[in-house]
Amino acid sequence: MAPHTPHTVSCVIFIVSVCIAASQITEVNYSPEVSSYKMAGRVTANTVVLQLPRCYFNSAPSLCNFLCDVYLVPAVDSGVNNFDADKTKASILSLSPYPTAFTGSNPKNYYLTKVGPLSNYPCVVPPGVMFFRAGADGNCSTPNCNGALPTGSTVRFKYLLFNSATQALLMETNWSGEVILYSLSNPATIDDSMKRRSGGMIVITSILSVFLALLLLLLIGLSIYACRYTPEKEPLPSLGSLRVKKYDTHNVKQPQLYVNQGYVDETKRYASSEVLPSQLKISEDLGDSVKLKRYQNYDPPSSEDKNTEKQTEQQTPQDKVYKV
């Protein structure tokens, strides 16, 4: 009994210390946060950009200056409880590899991915943009790869500190708040029908339509008016406006003997006062003679014959029968 006692006692002490060490995951009172930089892709459908775990694990043991790694646990819905149940197991790192973490009949809904050694994240913030993008590797299958998160899921994060030599979980932060990823919409659901007509379009359409109608009506009216009231080509005759020459009909009103001096020599052809009878004989009244109306002799009026002419003129022509 005596030679075995120290060996068994040391064995027991070792086992107990390991057990105590294994159950002592220090919880740090920080929680991961979405990056605070101004960026459009902080949260997408499959990825989240997180702030780095600076100063989170300040209270890590001194061996962690060189030998510790920071890991991230994204957990979806029930993955939070699953991880909390599984975290005390020694094989936690390989318990839920990425491709099967969210698929299958009973998925764990969490996975672990390596962020980097703790020495990369000192407390003093260097200049530049630093972040960690969860889900950056897309559809990967290597151990502890940074696989894409399920679209539209609600994710919570936790940073872990592992001893890189022993793969033992040393420290963990709190769970972060819920981060809701975008659920992708189908662009066919975008309603691209016309919403509203602009004011300018209404003004143009209404005014132009009215004016066009007016123009058409006016033109039709004009053509009707033009057909009805076409002015004549010739000017209308206006009485009294014509100037007619006034002719002096002297030969009808006062007939006078006209002797053409050019033919005076030809006395036999043309009657003159010497040829024409100067006396007018009055014959007896015959019973069966016709009484004719005769005009006066067209002798030029002379002073001797004036009395005789006047006498003959006084006699009424129709009562006398003249014998020539």
Partner 1 sequence: MAGGKGITLLMILLIIGNVFTAILGLALFAVAVWVTVDSYGLYPLTAVTGKDDIFAASWIAIFTGFAFFCVALFGAFAAARKSRRMMLVYLVSMLIVYIFECASAITAATNRDYLVGNSSLMKKQMLTYYADGSDAGMQVTNTWNRLMLEVGCCGADGPMDWVAYTSTFRQKYGNTYPWPLNCCNRLSTFDVVDPKNCKIGYADSMFTQGCFSYIESVFSRYTWAISWYGFSVLMFVFFLMLLAMVYYTKL
What is the binding site for partner 1 (CB under 8 A)?
37-42, 44-47, 49, 129, 131, 133, 135, 138, 148, 182, 184-188, 190-192, 194-198, 200-201, 204-205, 207-209, 211-212, 214-216, 218-219, 222-223, 225-226
Between residues 18 and 220, which has the closer beta carbon with respect to partner 1? 220
> Facing residues of 202 across strands?
none
Between residues 221 and 255, which has the closer beta carbon with respect to partner 1? 221
Between residues 102 and 162, which has the closer beta carbon with respect to partner 1? 102
Between residues 129 and 244, which has the closer beta carbon with respect to partner 1? 129
| Alpha-helix residue ranges (DSSP H) falling in 229-317 | 250-253, 305-314
Task: Measure the CA dihedral 115/118/120/121, to 10°.
Answer: 90
Between residues 218 and 276, which has the closer beta carbon with respect to partner 1? 218
CB 45 within 8 A of CB 61: no
Distance (Å, whole) CA 173 – CA 157? 9
**Which of 22, 49, 29 lies closest to 173 in space, CA to CA?**
29
- Residue 46 CB, nearest approach to partner 1 (Å): 5
- Residue 155 CB, nearest approach to partner 1 (Å): 15
- Residue 183 CB, nearest approach to partner 1 (Å): 9
DSSP at 3: T
- Residue 145 CB, nearest approach to partner 1 (Å): 14
Distance (Å, whole) CA 98 – CA 110? 8
- Residue 254 CB, nearest approach to partner 1 (Å): 49
Between residues 22 and 204, which has the closer beta carbon with respect to partner 1? 204
Distance (Å, whole) CA 172 – CA 87? 10
- Residue 227 CB, nearest approach to partner 1 (Å): 11
Question: Quick one: which H or E segment has residue 163?
Answer: strand 154-163
DSSP at 190: S
304-313 LR contacts (CB < 8 Å, sep 24+): 305/278, 312/280
- Altogether, the residues listed in the chain come to a count of 324
- Residue 36 CB, nearest approach to partner 1 (Å): 12
Between residues 222 and 276, which has the closer beta carbon with respect to partner 1? 222
Between residues 43 and 168, which has the closer beta carbon with respect to partner 1? 43
With vertex at residue 30, the alpha carbon angle to CA 27 and CA 33, rounded to the nearest 5 degrees, is 135
Distance (Å, whole) CA 108 – CA 63? 32
Distance (Å, whole) CA 123 – CA 130? 13
- Residue 102 CB, nearest approach to partner 1 (Å): 15
